[in-house]
Amino acid sequence: MSGPRVAVITFPGSLDDRDALRAVRLMGGTPVLVWHRDRDLGGADAVILPGGFSYGDHLRAGAIARFAPVMAAVAEHAERGGPVLGICNGFQILCEAGLLPGALTRNVGLAFVCRRIHVRCETSATVFTSTIAAGEVLPVPVKHGEGRFVADPETLARIEGEGRVVFRYCSPAGHLGGEWNPNGSTNHIAGIANDRGNVVGMMPHPEHAVDPDVGPTGGQPMFESLLQAVPAGV
């Protein structure tokens, strides 16, 4: 394997780290397993914070993981412009760490959701969507109990005004509506980016959507975007 090195962080309670490592390998990258107590990223070109229940979701989802030793290296990597993707619990961690705005709260109805859904790409201006046209619909799964994105009105207006919404929940044809929103997320937001487009958080699971033998392949374009945009060794 000679593609870009992609670090996948394992926290106590992570359960999608192996899936993320496999997805990176299947898509042509070089997966690098990094432990939460590590203080460097093993020379990685990009970082994935995977899904799961870090530290048992004590206090709040992601609230303790933000203090893990490795998060200082993740923050430094992001500050240098390095790609960082937070998936599900990883999205929650990025918000708790202040690397992304807003918060993820309990789903409307207080029920855990686990099913295939569709998301509409809203922008190509991120490292993870550079090969995806705005308006393109991707089939991916979700599985979370605290995935409802919320933000104060000023923050929400800034996110929307700056074009930092990356994905919205939608119908298979790309239409928006409550029936297609699995958790009641504000403005149907499924994923957002920082102002530079190198840090992205999303609740759906692209790492579970790369192998056609086991499910949808809506995650493939995200990994293709990353691996094409990040030369190995930078």
Residue in 96, 122, 146, 207 annotated catalytic: 207
Residue in 36, 144, 205, 208 annotated catalytic: 205
205 in active site: yes
Residue in 88, 95, 121, 170 annotated catalytic: 88
151: its two tokens: 């933000």
88 in active site: yes
Q: Which residues pair with 200 in a beta bridge?
A: 85, 193
114 in active site: no
CA angle (23, 183, 110) in 5-degree steps: 115
Which are the contacts of 123, defined by CB distance < 8 A and separation ≥ 6?
129, 134, 163, 164, 165, 166, 193, 197
With CA atoms as reference, report the closest residue to 23 among 201, 227, 233. 227
With CA atoms as reference, report the closest residue to 8 among 33, 38, 43. 33
Q: Report, as residue numbers or ranges, the catalytic residues.
A: 88, 205, 207
